[in-house]
């Protein structure tokens, strides 16, 4: 029997996901254990090769102490403009 599985696409900016984990002071192993996901899947997400189901994404957000939207929509990078003198 095949069941449907929704996976959130984290490929928009996997670096933002990694940044949140590092800012929280957690290794991949620590975060995986805290959220109940595999370290290999967490690594795949951080490297843009996979996504999380909504259930696992919620567990990751809780483990990081942030909202799901913080993982999906990272703060935009500061833009700089250069003008000719």
Q: Which two tokens stand for residue 1?
A: 């029997």
Q: Which one has a higher pLDDT value, 57 or 15?
A: 57
Does residue 6 have a pLDDT over 80? Answer: no
Alpha-carbon torsion (43, 48, 49, 53), positive or negative: positive
**According to the model, what pLDDT value does residue 11 have?**
42
Spatial separation of the C-alpha atoms in residues 56 and 53, rounded to whole Å: 5
Q: Stretch 20-24: mean pLDDT, rounded?
A: 94
**According to the model, what pLDDT value does residue 17 have?**
82
**According to the model, what pLDDT value does residue 55 have?**
92
Alpha helices in the chain (DSSP H): 14-23, 28-35, 39-46, 54-64, 68-72
State pTM to two decimals.
0.70
Write the class of the CATH domain 14-72: mainly alpha
Q: pLDDT grade, residue 63 (50/70/90)? A: very high
Return the closest-CA partner of residue 68 out of 25, 22, 35: 35
Give the list of residues 6+ apart from residue 81 with CB closer than 8 angstroms, or none.
none
Domain spans in the chain, listed from the N-terminal domain onward: 14-72
């Amino acid at each position: 029997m095949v069941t449907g599985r929704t996976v959130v696409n984290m490929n928009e900016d996997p670096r933002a996901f990694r940044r949140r984990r590092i800012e929280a002071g957690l290794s991949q192993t620590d975060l995986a254990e805290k959220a109940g996901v595999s370290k290999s899947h967490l690594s795949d997400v951080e490297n843009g090769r996979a996504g999380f189901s909504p259930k696992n994404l919620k567990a990751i957000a809780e483990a990081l102490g942030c909202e799901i939207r913080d993982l999906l929509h990272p703060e935009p990078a500061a833009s700089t403009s250069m003008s000719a003198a």
